[in-house]
Amino acid sequence: MADRSHGSPEHSGTVAKPGQGEVQKFQDPGLPPHRPRLADVDPRAEKRAERQVGMLFTVSILGTLIFFFGYFFIPLDETIATLRLQNLLLGLGTAFAMLGIGVGIVHWAKTLMPDHEVSEDRHVLRSEADRVDAEKIVGDILEETGIKRRPLIRNTLLGAGVLAVLPAIAIFRDLGPLPGDVLKHTMWDEGVRLTRDPSGTPIRASDVTIGSAFHVIPDGLNDLEHKLEEKAKAVVLLMRLNPESLAPSPGREDWGYEGIVAYSKICTHVGCPVALYEQQTHHLLCPCHQSTFDLTQECKVIFGPAVRPLPQLPISVDDEGYLVATSDFQEPVGPSFWERG
Amino acid sequence: MKALSQRRRHPLAAIALLLMGLLVTGGIYAVASTANEAQAQTAVSASDVEEGEKLFVANCATCHGMGASGTEDGPSLVGVGAASVDFQVGTGRMPLQMQGPQAQVKPPQFTDEQTRQMAAYVASLGAGPAIPGEEVLDTTGEGVDPANGGELFRVNCAMCHNAAAAGGALTRGKFAPGLEGVSAKHTYEAMVTGPQNMPVFNDANITPEEKQDIIAFLEVIDEQGSPGGADLGALGPVSEGLFIWVAGLGVIIAFTVWLTSRSS
């Protein structure tokens, strides 16, 4: 380490002093000298550029023709091969139609249009006189309308303005009925049979062998007019595992049947279908955000952003051996909502 | 039908007719038998079982135990059926190369004959799903409906295997494999036996005819390819996003450079 305990900064020669680091004032270099382009000096290059631009516009014309050829002259039968061909022609056609015009115009401007540099000086911003003028105009308008002198007009205008907005509420209300309590109930009820998705055929308890997974919809769903609205809430995954690996909590002992359990397929995070069942680990994985539910712990969340376990559908077996629900879900299915509580 | 009538003098016509006959007999048989009953076994002899046992003791018993009763390292194979052995050994998943999240496909380690013998041995230990016969795997027959297969696939299979059957990830290193190029027999066996973490789709859940439809659907999408050109592995936003970020932004940058450059 150098000895810096003696002397003063002014005389050390290592410390910057005023005036020492000053540079020459920066000079504006101005615009570079104008360099003519090839097309400016060589008539043949100019002709060539003209032809190139024309060619690019022709490419655009051809692209549009290709589009219409694909649109009108590719008959769509039932195979994917013709669909693929049509897709290809429509896509290529539009791409060339747009690119041809765009690239052509840019090429035209760059090679043939004048290229002298222009600088525009910034004009002076608002002057005080302008501001006073504008203020006077507003004041005149207020004065001439007489809104300050005529409270009747002012008040009725205010009233009309406020009321005129209200019909919007009625119009938005007509977009649909309020959801009411539909989010809290599903089609499931006591005695509703569990049926296969999509055929709607009932399932016997003996059909569900250990390790099986059935995708289930409630009986009668396929007969509904708006069946997707009900299906979105009522889909269930039915699985059978060794009864010993299930440990139902008090009050839920009779919600399954000999190791057969049914859980809502709607993720409690944002409502994706949780149907990735691993039959050895008994994990249910949601494909959207990787929430993982453990079937042996009543679908407790063991990983991921979901916070509530999947709701369980209490099931039993009817006289004919078919699986039936013994009630609706005991809690709303799917993601949280404002009034869920 | 027109294409069919044109080919009626084809040298393979007799074979096709024979296959169709087999299919009809098989179909009637399948309807007659109850849903959960094990299907007709391919003929096995006592010597097959004996040879299979020797192979099993030499190659599998380390993990699965003598008599396939299971050890800490491997499950018991009593009652898994011939289909399970045919799938696991026929696709090279077994014998396991190493412990891991799941057994991976590799070139099969045994000949078809040896696989058949081991399957016969394991089937002799307890009843289980049999190797499917040709008649349930033939998807050219009448009444096979790939569209229905597609719907069943989307309900039962697509959440793990992807809507385009390209496969997908599961938890902790496990995955559902892509199904392109998987033989009809192995697809069928996988549905019946539920290998590894795949659930079982027994004949009461998806009937043999429906399984046939699903296999037909897989064959159709294999043949037809993607409806929109390059499918980038059909893996969805990851591969498509990567492509558009790299290629799309690259093109935009190239255009920007060209737009602002001076013409020569």
- Give the tens place of pLDDT for each residue, A315-341: 999 999 999 999 999 999 999 888 776
Q: What is the pLDDT of residue B40?
A: 42
- Assess whether pLDDT exceeds 50 at residue A295: yes
- Assess whether pLDDT exceeds 60 at residue B42: no
- Assess whether pLDDT exceeds 60 at residue A18: no
Please report the DSSP string for B118-151 in residue order: HHHHHHHHS--PPPPPHHHH--SSTT--HHHHHH
Arithmetic mean of pLDDT over chain B: 85
Handedness of CA B2, B5, B11, B15 (dihedral sign): positive
B132-170 confidence digits (pLDDT tens): 988 888 888 888 999 999 999 999 999 899 988 999 889
Q: B180 — phi, psi (to 5°)?
A: -70, 130
Strand partners, B176: B168
Quick check: bond before A335 cis, omega within 30? no
Q: What percent of chain B has pLDDT over 70?
A: 90
- Assess whether pLDDT exceeds 60 at residue A11: no
Among chain A residues, the shortest Cα distance to B149 is held by A198
Q: How many Cα atoms are found within 13 Å in the side-chain-facing hemisphere of B141?
A: 23
Give CA–CA dist B77/B126, Å, rounded.
Answer: 9
Quick check: bond before B107 cis, omega within 30? no
Residue A5's identity, in one-letter code, is S
Q: Give the range among A160-164, A178-182, B86-90 with minimum mean pLDDT.
A: A178-182
Which residue in A198, A280, A290 is closest to B197 by CB distance?
Answer: A280
- Assess whether pLDDT exceeds 80 at residue A172: yes
Ranges of each domain in chain A: 33-173, 181-325
What three-state secondary structure class fits A255? helix
Give CA–CA dist A164/A172, Å, rounded.
Answer: 14
| Cα A5 from chain centroid (whole Å) | 67
| CB neighbour burial string for A307-321, b if at least 16 within 10 angstroms, e if fewer | ebbbbbbbbbeeeee
Q: What is the pLDDT of residue A25?
A: 79
CB contact under 8 A, B263 and A279: no
Q: Give the range among A112-126, A149-163, B63-77, B106-120 with minimum mean pLDDT.
A: A112-126
- Fold of the A181-325 domain: Rieske Iron-sulfur Protein (2.102.10)
The contacts of residue A231 (CB under 8 Å, 6+ apart) are A217, A221
Q: What is the pLDDT of residue A175?
A: 85
Give CA–CA dist A267/A333, Å, rounded.
Answer: 8
Give CA–CA dist A238/B3, Å, rounded.
Answer: 44
Query: Is-contact A263 A295, C-beta < 8 A?
Result: yes
- Assess whether pLDDT exceeds 80 at residue B44: no
What ipTM is given for this predicted complex?
A: 0.74
Q: Which of the four pLDDT bands, split at 50, 70 and 90, describes residue B1? A: low
Chain B residues whose beta carbon lies within 8 Å of the beta carbon of residue A204? 204
Give CA–CA dist A305/A335, Å, rounded.
Answer: 11
Looking up tokens 């791409």, which residue turns up? A95
Q: What is the pLDDT of residue A3?
A: 47
Give CA–CA dist B184/B216, Å, rounded.
Answer: 9
Q: What is the pLDDT of residue B36?
A: 43
To the question of pTM greater than 0.80 for the whole model, the response is no
Q: What is the pLDDT of residue A97?
A: 96
Mean pLDDT computed over A246-251 = 88
Architecture of domain B38-129 in CATH?
Orthogonal Bundle (1.10)
Arithmetic mean of pLDDT over chain A: 88
| Cα B49 from chain centroid (whole Å) | 25
What is the number of residues in chain A? 341
CB contact under 8 A, B36 and A303: no
Q: What is the pLDDT of residue A49?
A: 93
Among chain B residues, the shortest Cα distance to A38 is held by B264
Which of A80, A237, A282 to mutate to test binding with chain B, by most B CBs within 10 Å of its CB? A80
Q: What is the pLDDT of residue B228?
A: 75
The contacts of residue B215 (CB under 8 Å, 6+ apart) are B137, B139, B149, B184, B187, B188
Give CA–CA dist A100/A61, Å, rounded.
Answer: 8
Q: What is the pLDDT of residue A1?
A: 42
CB contact under 8 A, B229 and A277: no
User: Would you list which residues of chain B are within 8 Å, Cβ to Cβ, of chain A?
Assistant: 35-36, 151-152, 155-156, 159-160, 168, 170-171, 174, 176, 194, 196-202, 204-205, 224-229, 258-259, 262-264
Mean pLDDT computed over B241-249 = 94
Q: What is the pLDDT of residue A7?
A: 47
Mean pLDDT computed over A108-123 = 86
Q: What is the pLDDT of residue B32?
A: 55
A223: which DSSP letter? G
Most confident by average pLDDT, A58-67, A118-127, A178-187, B3-12: A58-67
Minimal CA–CA distance to A239: which of B189, B129, B197, B174? B197
Query: How many Cβ pairs closer than 8 A exist between chain A and B?
Result: 94
What three-state secondary structure class fits B75? coil
Chain B residues whose beta carbon lies within 8 Å of the beta carbon of residue A201? none
Give CA–CA dist A104/A246, Å, rounded.
Answer: 71
> Hey, which CATH number is domain B132-225, 3.40.50.300, 1.10.760.10, 3.40.50.620, 3.30.460.80?
1.10.760.10
Q: What percent of chain A has pLDDT over 90?
A: 59
What distances in angstroms separate CA B55 from CA A12, B87, B97, B113, B114, one per listed residue? 92, 17, 17, 11, 8
Minimal CA–CA distance to A218: which of A325, A330, A327, A317? A325
Q: B246 — phi, psi (to 5°)?
A: -80, -55
User: Would you list which residues of chain A are within 8 Å, Cβ to Cβ, of chain B?
Assistant: 37-39, 79-81, 83-84, 87-88, 106, 110-111, 115, 196-198, 203-204, 206-215, 239, 273, 275-281, 283, 285, 287, 290, 292, 303
B166-188 confidence digits (pLDDT tens): 998 898 889 999 998 899 999 99
Among chain B residues, the shortest Cα distance to A215 is held by B156
**Secondary structure element (H or E) that encloses residue A294, with its range:** strand A292-294
Supply angle C-alpha A23, A24, A30, rounded to 5: 130
Mean pLDDT computed over B68-81 = 88
Give CA–CA dist B257/A236, Å, rounded.
Answer: 55
